[in-house]
Amino acid sequence: MAPHYSVRSSRVVDLNLFRLRISSNVADFGGYSYFSRFAQPADHCTYEIVCVDLDRDPVDPALIEPLADRGFRADRFRSGFYLTHHYGPPAYLVTRGSTIYVFGRQLERTIWPYFTKHLLTLFAVDHDMVHLKAAAFAQPTGATLLFGRGSGGKTVFLTQACAAGAAFVSNTHVLTSGSTVHGVPSAMRVRRDRCFEELIDSGRLEKHLDASEYRLDPGMIFGHEPVAEATVRNLCVIDYNADRPPCFESVEEETFNAFLDLFAFAIGTYGLKDDVLTHLGNDFQRYGDVFSTMKRRMHDLVKTSRRLYVNADMLDPRIRDRTLARLAEL
């Protein structure tokens, strides 16, 4: 297929535990903006994604179709539905080993919503780890992982904790191995609200792909590079609601597991079960073993960590400092 398009840009993304090469036939490809750390072009990459925009190089679909993947995810891409609620123009997937070619339009919108989640999950499967949807920061006594519903206050909690001196670990995704959390470097996408309006008005943040979002580089704002790994101390469900009384409560293990199963465990949270099954050669027994082992690892982390449900206005300095002090307790 290479003679039918030209690669006009390429970046090596550093995701901490592995590197990902993203190439495109679009010179100013917007998909790079999701990331905050890049490596040298010659560095070894675990995976590669090649994005071919069919408006830039109009490759005949008749040439792509015989090479395209078959299966659930490939069919979803052909219909324009990528993952969960993310959709766009129809696209073709062509997977060859650790390299994925995607042919379509507006492909920058597939990089974070699908490919990043997909590859983090496959990496976790192949390296006996767990991929969780979580933010994380570290204090001298250990790391705190933040979980929660959408718009529940995780980003504000994380930002205010790091502004008060905690070390930034990760904004959206983490990989865990035993009691160790590994961050996944990325740009933060923020909107104009009480937490970020002053920063946005300062002109220091550039617009992101969506008109309502701005791109925030954690290293620039917090003055240090993200921490690569830390030992987990706290697991917190963040559920800010100004109309309810503030709380900082312990949670039973079974209740916490039930929440994480659908709000944090990547295979279920992002609907990646078919992708993992395909990765494992559609081997039912192997899939069952991998899935149950990964679930057990997550539940072991829940069992050995402090489990908390928190409703706290982190924009109030007194509440913020008191909350962080409690999280730092041994």
Integer Cα distance of 326 and 304 in angstroms:
18
Q: How confident is the model at residue 2 (pLDDT cuts 50, 70, 90)?
A: low
Q: How confident is the model at residue 103 (pLDDT cuts 50, 70, 90)?
A: very high
Residue-averaged pLDDT of the chain: 94
What does the pLDDT look like over 185-229, one tens digit per residue? 998 888 787 777 877 777 777 777 777 788 888 887 888 889 999
What does the pLDDT look like over 274-306, one tens digit per residue? 999 999 999 999 999 999 999 999 999 999 999
Residue pair 244/311 in contact by the 8 Å Cβ criterion: yes
What pLDDT was estimated at residue 205?
76
Integer Cα distance of 267 and 253 in angstroms:
20
What does the pLDDT look like over 112-170, one tens digit per residue? 999 999 999 999 999 999 999 999 999 999 999 999 998 899 999 999 999 999 999 99
Integer Cα distance of 276 and 287 in angstroms:
7
The string of DSSP codes covering 121-149 is HHHHHHTT-EEEE-EEEEETTEEEEEE-S
Q: How confident is the model at residue 87 (pLDDT cuts 50, 70, 90)?
A: confident
Write the CA distances from 182 to 46, 130, 132, 235, 252, integer angstroms.
17, 10, 10, 14, 25
Supply the DSSP symbol for 7. Answer: -
Q: Write phi, then psi, for 180 (nearest 5 degrees).
A: -100, 135
What pLDDT was estimated at residue 1?
62
Structure-token pair, residue 71: 């299966």
What pLDDT was estimated at residue 194?
78
Cα dihedral across residues 18, 24, 28, 30: positive or negative: negative
Average pLDDT over residues 2-22: 95
The DSSP bridge pattern shows strands 135-139 and 142-147 to be: antiparallel
What does the pLDDT look like over 49-68, one tens digit per residue? 999 999 999 999 999 999 99
Integer Cα distance of 35 and 112 in angstroms:
9
19 forms bridges with which residues in the sheet? 14
Whole-structure pTM value: 0.95
Structure-token pair, residue 256: 């916490």
What pLDDT was estimated at residue 251?
98
Integer Cα distance of 239 and 158 in angstroms:
13
Residue 256 has pLDDT above 70, yes or no: yes
